[in-house]
Chain A
Amino acid sequence: MLKVKNLHACVAENKSIKILNGLDLYIRKGEVHVIMGPNGGGKSTLANILMGRPSYEITNGEVEFNGKSILDLAPDARSHLGMFLAFQYPVEVPGVRPWQFLKASLDAKAEANREKKISVREFTKIFNQKVEEVGINSNLIKRSLNEGFSGGEKKRNEILQLQIINPLLAIMDETDSGLDIDALRIISDGINSMRSNQRSFLIVTHYQRLLNYVKPDFVHILVGGMIVDSGGPDLALKIENSGYKDYIK
């Protein structure tokens, strides 16, 4: 589903800051991959680059999604292909309501894929149902997108979007950080209920604790812009005990 080959990237405004230095990653349909690593290792950058954030520049390498090169695509086109990024810091957009925003998102995707747009009635039904499932306060959802949301509420809102947009590949950028245990459970449940043999996950996280709830197929260690080790869930446990010091030169 996702092939990342020898990816090099730097900060667009300051090319001397190199963030990825030859990263390889291969995710098949239905797999859950977890990326761990120390701060500044490039985890979040990878998530953002895959979605096409303009503040980074790709200097070398290739990224394919379902056999199609995506590096020249704008973020919206990547979204239409079925990619999704849950933000570490969801952005506040004053005056825009979540309902309106998600409807527009689905409409844009339907249009790009020449599918029929979902009716307002049907959408509202799904929306309300998901809001309840994810456990978002229904007063909150009447407000502006992310404006005045607490950190945990913002993250839940990302899960809501994940569930409604229904992507093929969900990239979760430290969605678990800053959450209390109940919120963490809701988020993990959200992810687990979305797991299927058609959908893949790339979960960027700092802590092992999310992995108590979500069982990954693969764990990768990202240090210095490269994947330095890969393995199964036990690799995460090992990191939890011994940290990253073995990987840092």
Chain B
Amino acid sequence: MLEAFDKLGIPLHEREKLAGVAVDAVFDSVSVATTFADKLAELGIIFCSFTEAVQNHPDLVRKYLGSVVPYTDNFYSCLNSAVFSDGSFTYIPPGVKCPMELMTYFRINTEGSGQFERTLIIADKNSYVSYLEGCTAPMRKSSQLHAAVVELVALDDSEIKYSTIQNWFPGTKDGQGGVYNFVTKRGRADRSAKISWTQVETGSAITWKYPSVILKGDNSVGEFFSVALANNHQQADTGTKMIHIGKNTKSTIVSKGISAGKGNNTYRGSVQIMPKAENATNHTQCDSLLIGDKCGAHTVPYIEVRNPTARLEHEASTSKVSDDQLFYLMSRGLSEEEAHHMIITGWSRDVIKELPFEFAVEASQLLKVSLEGAVG
């Protein structure tokens, strides 16, 4: 099975380089390979396909599946609940700091198909896990649908760091084909727990994605770091939802949207401070970068405050790559394309630096590849 990865060019073969990364591969929603399972088992960590989890750990699955994302939540999560075939299951026992990054690679192979995988991650009390999700799909003319559901449960004092690099096929330059990426991602943070979503979104024809954190426990923390790129005819509509329920809850949102070609990038975020969320704080920063004059950048923040002790700040800016910056870099020998790439990666650094190192390098390369032809 792992050979298939090599043939398909998914960088799973780089796993030697990514020493200490355990990988679970999901093809067309079927989990095909899980590495390092034994080593993880020694620590009591469960990292397996959903099917195995249902067979071997039915209690955990029953207790937490659908507890954060109920099937009634929205059309796509309902569809997923009805048809999901497999996915990835992770459980970190109390007090355990998972020593390696856990990674899932998702791939849609079949043409005109849909992928409906389900991911459930449970960090038990005082545990820690960093989880990576990579997505690819080969070029197909007809469209494909990805309607995944990801549920995170962070129990008291635990931390889950979830990083995504999404590079589903965005469709051709004329807007033909491509993956429709409608993903429901939500986490629940209990007392003093922390959930952190980091995403680099360069693929898909249409992306609708709002990873959310329900800050249920007192002192819980939610973070969202995102770079979304929309080139050619891509539409990226992404953002986050931070629901502050507990006291002293804190959320941070950093969203960087890059629009090029005829792409449209929308940040749509919601910060809700519930009546009992004393001293909740939120800081939101949304920056947009426009490349060319046929693209669009939209920022739609919803801020709903029902507690007067809340402190919220929202800042946003829209800019383009300035001629001065380009000239400066080019006068030092960088080509126009390299100069653009360097400026854009630098501009995105606040988000990219949140990624695990290997992912950060890949993210930077993806931005470069995705923007080819957009500049100049």
Contacts and interface: CB of A to CB of B under 8 A. Distances in A.
The reply, when asked whether chain A contacts chain B directly with Cβ atoms under 8 A, is: yes
Interface of A: 51-55, 74-76, 78-80, 84-85, 87, 90-96, 100-102, 104-106, 108-109, 112, 144-145, 161, 165
A95 B347 CA distance: 5
Interface of B: 322-325, 327-336, 338-339, 342-343, 345-350
A208 to B, nearest CB: 27
B346 A91 contact: no
B332 A91 contact: no
Contacts of B330: 52, 74-76, 79
Contact of B325 (A76, A93, A102): A93
A80 B347 CA distance: 26
Contacts, number: 85
Contacts of B336: 74, 76
Residue from the set B327, B333, B348 with the largest chain A CB neighbour count within 10 Å: B333
A83 B323 CA distance: 20
A55 B323 contact: yes
B328 A104 contact: no
A78 B332 CA distance: 9
Contacts of A95: 345-350
Contacts of A90: 328
A109 B325 CA distance: 19
B339 to A, nearest CB: 8
28 contacts: A54-B323, A54-B327, A74-B330, A75-B331, A76-B333, A76-B339, A79-B332, A84-B331, A85-B331, A87-B331, A91-B328, A92-B325, A93-B329, A93-B343, A93-B346, A94-B347, A94-B349, A95-B348, A95-B349, A101-B329, A101-B332, A104-B342, A105-B334, A108-B333, A108-B334, A109-B333, A144-B346, A165-B332
Contacts of A52: 327, 330-331
| A-B CB proximity, top 4 nearest | A95-B346, A95-B349, A96-B346, A79-B333
A172 B319 CA distance: 30
A96 B3 CA distance: 38
A75 to B, nearest CB: 4
A112 B335 CA distance: 10
A119 to B, nearest CB: 18
Given A76-B336, A91-B324, A108-B338, A51 B345 contact: no
Nearest to B328: A91
A80 B333 contact: yes
A11 to B, nearest CB: 13
Contacts of A53: 327
Nearest to A147: B346
B323 to A, nearest CB: 7
